[in-house]
């Protein structure tokens, strides 16, 4: 459980496709013709933070227990030079230049590459991943600290000795959009030059231009208050101990003045200030907005110090940052010696296992740093999570007691919604639809959403305006109402969505469907009036619930064998510090998102480490997960282990610990060659505080280890309906703290087992302690090859299939054999030649094949999928992958092969894309038997037969129950 780091090695390419393809490349919008794009290339050598030795003449640089990374010693400089030299050599091997180097948490470099150069590096030994430098986006009781039980005479802060000691000696690093240092949440005494005394050992001080702070774990934090636009060194203090900015990639493509941004750590949009203030802002800060007094607020760990790493920048789409800038920020945070990293950044699709940000976080966790990551705001659809690596804590957003108000119409009907701006009865006032008071030059669609300049002051003055949610920010709508002389607003959702308690420019109530239709219809009647009333109670409001926007599992990269998210925390209508320029002059505002939930977990980790600073990140995560409770949305793919419970978190009894070798084994189990010598570990067997088996067939036994923080006797109780289970041993006896014991959980399907996912729990019950782990298993209908291959115009092949269910119909589709399409590609085609296909809904399989036309010149391709107007990389298609990629049950949509040449002249090629659709049945592919009589768990031979196939590749699909199947490739 020590935070002492272990050996780290960057990872080799991971399998991303079920059959033939290696790790997926990252694609952005194609660059202009002839212009290379920036790529991040990660190499298979250990970075400085985790290098344990092994290179002749270069001593280990990983820190010892309770020590930070030494980046300035002679040995560290020699090893960094070794890494940099290797990075430069790798770039030069394809005719490129390494422009930026990372070596502390990530062994990677940034270079401008053509896609052909990227393909060559993908095929170069010692290269882990080649990922295009893409933009990443900051994710967008009523007081969350009260709701979590932190405040009060019997709260967590009091039990830790008061707010000043809650997180004392801990540094929380925040990678985000910067900080507004003048906000009182970050106020603190000035930094002096005298070293701290024994009475106040964790007081930070200046040493030259650096900020130095001894930490609770015995190591030393060394930061810097980096100067820049409207940011001077004296803005840092004993609370805000360090502030840096990272924007080489962003600033190269953007003019800060055009967006009002600051080329400094200063925050413009407010996201970074909000997350930093939530995690570790000062205690009892008076918070007012638009003249409304919301009382006092506090960060979760008010005694902790804050170190800011600005790597996201304000633009038209909010806070965004390039991967290369984010990696540099992580690199620096590890070098500085933070204890916790908050990363409220994510996407609507899951990061791959070779994603350089996730690998950098592995190094950070290995160095003893707790990393809290946002799950994403793309819910409630399934499999929309991001940041699902097991070495980070993935956070879902939950609700707290809402701010409510009522909309009372002139006809007497009343509707309840969210509001922070109705503190007293307001009205009655005339009520009008926004379209009825629109500017003559404005379109109905603009007026409907109260877009800027769309309302006519002559018509809107003195009225409450009904505006529709969407397109423009919610607070901008009320600003438009105020500009036009309106006195209030009713904001209506056009579909079932969450409601937000924003601080609006005029008194506002935000309502949801089906109430919106009724209010809108009434507002269109002559003489309509409305009164806005503060709600007398929160009666009927169920909380905590997982917010509808919070991204859901299952994690696709983990094949259902790891439950993500890990935990839920408050993330709806959270009041915290913001930056006035991006928030209509406000110093504080309500934000919602998993971005807001994540710093609650980061702050709680700081509290825990303040009491036990050498506890490992995995042990802290385990303590949170096994003491959580169910939300009102008890779906494991929504809430993970449940809602964090700070009081119980500090006394978990047992913890599921893990370290570098566990994570390397996990990666090896996924097919990633780490070069560490770690034995492969099935994801289900990773020592994790939850248990998941994504494909239970027959029986399965998983192994776990628990370490006692509180010695005693613990008895196992498992609840998994429809599954025969056994825990062995079922009783664990710990005589002292620190003891570790191993146990197994066996799960066996019965005749009563259905085909749907089964949810349950395993609880170790001790004296006054319950250590609870959620369990999820998904019964598998069949065990069969993912792909089988045959040859000939007519032919057959036989393979074994083992059924998991008693009714086992088998259906065939295809085969399909499209005509190859010839083409040529020139080295000057920077993004190659595009060959696209639209895969329809319900397709069973698709095969992409690249056929070189010149045996003397090699070609290659990148397979991409178009999502939201951008390209998502799926696979490399080169000679290493047998020039093909095959997908079973593909997502519908547009797929594109970007074909490139490695030669120096025009190169011929052909492509063949076989799409096996749902209407491809009753073809020349048949199976015997097609309605077999089976016994679950007993294999039987299945024969596939085809006829009349052309002398080129054909693709078919054999489907079993519950969408399982086998791809058939002929010729």
Kindly write down the DSSP assignment for every residue of 283-305, as one continuous string. Answer: SSEEEEETTEEEEEE--SSTTSE
E strands, 729-844, are 731-734, 740-749, 758-766, 769-779, 782-783, 787-790, 795-803, 811-816, 821-825, 833-839
Q: According to the model, what pLDDT value does residue 15 have?
A: 19
Residue 756 is among the residues annotated as catalytic for this protein: no
SS3 readout for 573-615: CEEEECCHHHCCCCCEEEECCHHHHHHHHHHHHHHHHHHCCCE
The second-level CATH assignment, the architecture, of 404-539 is: 3-Layer(bba) Sandwich (3.50)
Q: How far, CA to CA in Å, does 303 sit from each of 51, 185, 281, 692? A: 33, 12, 8, 37
Which pLDDT does position 922 carry in this prediction?
A: 56
CB atoms within 10 A of CB 514: 10
pLDDT in tens, 303-357: 999 999 999 998 877 788 999 999 999 999 999 999 999 999 986 678 887 789 9
Is 643 annotated as catalytic?
A: no
- CATH code for the domain defined by 690-780: 2.60.40.2310
Contact indicator for 355, 326 with CB cutoff of 8 Å:
no
The DSSP call for residue 273 is H
Q: What is the 3-state secondary structure (H, E, C) of 880-900?
A: HHCCEEEEECCCCEEEEEEEE
Report d(CA 634, CA 613) in Å as an integer: 32
Residue 595 catalytic? Answer: yes
Beta bridge partners of 307: 173, 242
Catalytic annotation, pick one of 378, 573, 595, 817: 595
Count of residues in the chain? 971
Looking at CATH, the fold of the domain delimited by 153-400+548-648 is given as Rossmann fold (3.40.50)
The overall longest dimension of the chain from CA atoms, in Å, is: 88
CA atoms within 13 A on the CB side of 418: 25
196-222, pLDDT tens digit by residue?
Answer: 999 999 999 999 999 999 999 999 999
The whole-angstrom separation of Cα 643 and Cα 625 is 8
- In 3D space, the residue among 402, 401, 299, 397 whose CA is nearest the CA of residue 598 turns out to be 397
- Alpha-carbon dihedral of residues 383, 384, 389, 390, nearest 10 degrees? -60
- Inter-residue contact 946 to 795 (CB < 8 Å): yes
CA gap 846, 750 in Å, rounded: 35
Q: Reduced to 3 states, what is the DSSP secondary structure of residue 157?
A: helix
**How far lies 928's CA from each of 58, 591, 933, 941, 949, in Å?**
63, 59, 12, 9, 19
User: Choosing from 176, 354, 589, 662, which is the catalytic residue?
Assistant: 176
**What are the extents of the domains in the chain?**
37-132, 153-400+548-648, 404-539, 659-688, 690-780, 783-970
C-alpha 612/C-alpha 625 separation (Å) is 17
- The closest alpha carbon to 770, from 705, 702, 717, 721, belongs to 717
Question: 21, 267, 271, 502: which is the annotated catalytic residue?
Answer: 271
pTM of the model: 0.83
Phi, psi dihedral angles at 586 (to 5 degrees): -80, 145
Residues 30 and 38: their CA atoms lie apart, in Å, by: 12
pLDDT of 7 reads: 19
pLDDT, residue 938, reads 87
Low-confidence ranges of the chain (pLDDT < 50): 1-34, 141-142
Residue partners of 677: CB distance under 8 A and separation at least 6? none
CATH homologous superfamily of domain 783-970? Answer: Mitogen Ypm (2.60.120.510)
pLDDT of residue 867: 76
User: In sequence order, which residues have a C-beta less than 8 Å from that of residue 339 and are 6 or more positions away?
Assistant: 170, 171, 172, 215, 216, 217, 368, 369, 370, 606, 609, 613
Helix (H) or strand (E) holding 850: strand 845-852
- Geometric angle at alpha carbon 652, from 649 and 656, rounded to 5°: 110
Would you call 138 helix, strand, or coil by DSSP? Answer: strand
């Amino acid at each position: 459980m020590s935070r002492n780091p272990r050996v780290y090695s960057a990872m080799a390419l991971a399998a991303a496709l079920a059959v033939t393809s290696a790790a997926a490349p990252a694609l952005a919008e194609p660059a202009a013709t002839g212009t290379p794009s920036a790529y991040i290339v990660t190499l298979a050598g250990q970075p400085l933070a985790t290098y344990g030795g092994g290179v002749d003449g270069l001593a280990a640089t990983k820190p010892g227990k309770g020590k930070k990374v030494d980046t300035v010693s002679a040995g560290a400089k020699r090893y960094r030079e070794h890494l940099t030299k290797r990075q430069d050599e790798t770039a030069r091997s394809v005719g490129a230049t390494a422009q930026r180097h990372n070596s502390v948490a990530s062994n990677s470099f940034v270079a401008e590459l053509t896609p052909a150069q990227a393909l060559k590096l993908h095929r170069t030994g010692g290269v882990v991943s080649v990922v295009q430098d893409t933009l990443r986006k900051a994710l967008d009781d009523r007081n969350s600290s009260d709701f979590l039980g932190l405040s009060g005479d019997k709260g967590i802060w009091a039990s830790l000795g008061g707010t000043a000691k809650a997180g004392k000696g801990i540094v929380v690093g925040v990678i985000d959009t910067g900080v507004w240092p003048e906000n009182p949440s970050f106020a603190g005494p000035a930094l002096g030059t005298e070293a701290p005394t024994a009475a106040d050992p964790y007081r930070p001080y200046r040493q030259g231009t650096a900020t130095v702070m001894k930490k609770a774990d015995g190591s030393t934090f060394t930061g810097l208050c980096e100067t820049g636009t409207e940011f001077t060194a004296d803005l840092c203090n004993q609370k805000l101990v360090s502030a840096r900015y990272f924007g080489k990639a962003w600033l190269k493509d953007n003019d800060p003045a055009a967006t009002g941004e600051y080329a400094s750590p200063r925050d413009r949009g407010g996201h970074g200030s909000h997350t930093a203030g939530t995690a570790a802002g000062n205690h009892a800060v008076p918070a007012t907005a638009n003249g409304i007094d919301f009382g006092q607020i506090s960060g979760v760990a008010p005694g902790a110090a804050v170190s800011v790493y600005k790597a996201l920048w304000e633009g038209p789409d909010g806070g965004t940052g390039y991967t290369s800038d984010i990696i540099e920020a992580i690199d620096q945070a590890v070098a500085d010696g933070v204890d916790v990293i908050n990363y409220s950044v994510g996407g609507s699709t899951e990061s791959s296992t070779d994603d350089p940000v996730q690998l950098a976080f592995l190094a950070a966790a290995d160095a003893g740093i707790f990393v809290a990551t946002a799950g994403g705001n793309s819910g409630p659809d399934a499999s929309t999570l991001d940041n699902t690596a097991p070495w980070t804590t993935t956070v879902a957003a939950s609700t707290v007691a809402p701010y409510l108000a009522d909309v009372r119409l002139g006809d007497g009907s009343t509707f309840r919604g969210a509001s922070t701006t109705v503190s007293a009865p307001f009205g009655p006032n005339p009520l009008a639809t926004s379209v009825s008071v629109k500017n003559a030059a404005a379109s109905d669609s603009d007026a409907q959403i109260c877009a800027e300049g769309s309302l006519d002051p002559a018509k809107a003055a003195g009225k409450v305006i009904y505006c529709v949610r969407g397109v423009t920010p919610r607070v901008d709508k009320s600003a438009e109402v105020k500009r036009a002389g309106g006195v209030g607003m009713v904001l209506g959702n056009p579909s079932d969505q969450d409601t937000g308690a924003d601080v609006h420019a005029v008194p506002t109530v935000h309502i949801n469907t089906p109430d919106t239709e009724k209010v809108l219809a009434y507002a269109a009647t002559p003489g309509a009036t409305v009164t806005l009333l503060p709600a007398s109670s929160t009666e009927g409001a169920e909380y905590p619930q997982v917010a509808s926007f919070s991204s859901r599992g299952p994690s696709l990269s983990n094949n259902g064998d790891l439950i993500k998210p890990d935990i839920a925390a408050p993330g709806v209508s959270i009041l915290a510090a913001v930056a006035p320029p991006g928030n209509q002059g406000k110093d504080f505002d309500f934000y919602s998102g998993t971005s807001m939930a994540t710093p609650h977990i980061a702050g709680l980790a700081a509290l825990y480490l303040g009491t036990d600073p050498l506890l490992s990140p995995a042990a802290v995560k385990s303590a949170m997960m096994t003491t959580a409770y169910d939300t009102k949305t008890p779906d494991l793919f929504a809430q993970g282990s449940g809602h964090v419970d700070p009081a119980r978190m500090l006394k978990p009894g047992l913890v599921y610990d893990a370290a570098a070798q566990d994570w390397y084994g996990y990666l090896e189990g996924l097919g990633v060659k780490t070069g560490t010598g770690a034995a492969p570990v099935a994801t289900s067997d990773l020592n994790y505080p939850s248990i998941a088996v994504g494909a239970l067939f027959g029986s399965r036994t998983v192994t776990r280890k628990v370490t006692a923080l509180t010695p005693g006797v613990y008895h196992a109780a498992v609840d998994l309906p429809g599954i025969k289970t056994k825990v062995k041993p079922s009783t664990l006896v710990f005589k002292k703290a620190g003891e570790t014991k191993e146990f197994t959980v066996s799960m066996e399907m019965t005749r009563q087992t259905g085909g749907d996912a089964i949810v349950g729990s395993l609880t170790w019950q001790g004296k006054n302690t319950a250590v609870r782990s959620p369990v999820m298993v998904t019964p598998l209908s069949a065990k069969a090859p993912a792909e089988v291959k045959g040859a000939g115009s007519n032919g057959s092949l036989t393979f074994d299939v083992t059924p998991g269910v008693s009714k086992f119909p088998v259906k065939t589709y295809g085969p399909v054999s499209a005509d190859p399409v010839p083409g040529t590609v020139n080295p000057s085609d920077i993004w190659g030649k595009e060959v696209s296909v639209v895969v329809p809904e319900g397709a069973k399989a698709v095969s992409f094949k690249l056929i070189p036309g010149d045996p003397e010149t090699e070609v290659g391709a990148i397979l991409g999928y178009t999502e939201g107007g951008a390209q998502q990389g799926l696979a490399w298609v080169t000679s290493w992958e047998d020039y093909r990629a095959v997908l079973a049950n593909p997502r519908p949509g547009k797929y594109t092969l970007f074909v490139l040449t490695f030669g120096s002249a025009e190169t011929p090629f052909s492509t063949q894309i076989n799409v096996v659709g749902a209407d491809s049945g009753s073809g020349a592919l048949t199976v015997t038997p097609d309605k077999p009589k089976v016994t679950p768990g007993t294999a039987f031979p299945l024969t596939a037969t085809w006829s009349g196939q052309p002398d080129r590749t054909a693709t078919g699909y054999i489907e079993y129950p519950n969408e399982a199947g086998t791809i058939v490739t002929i010729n």
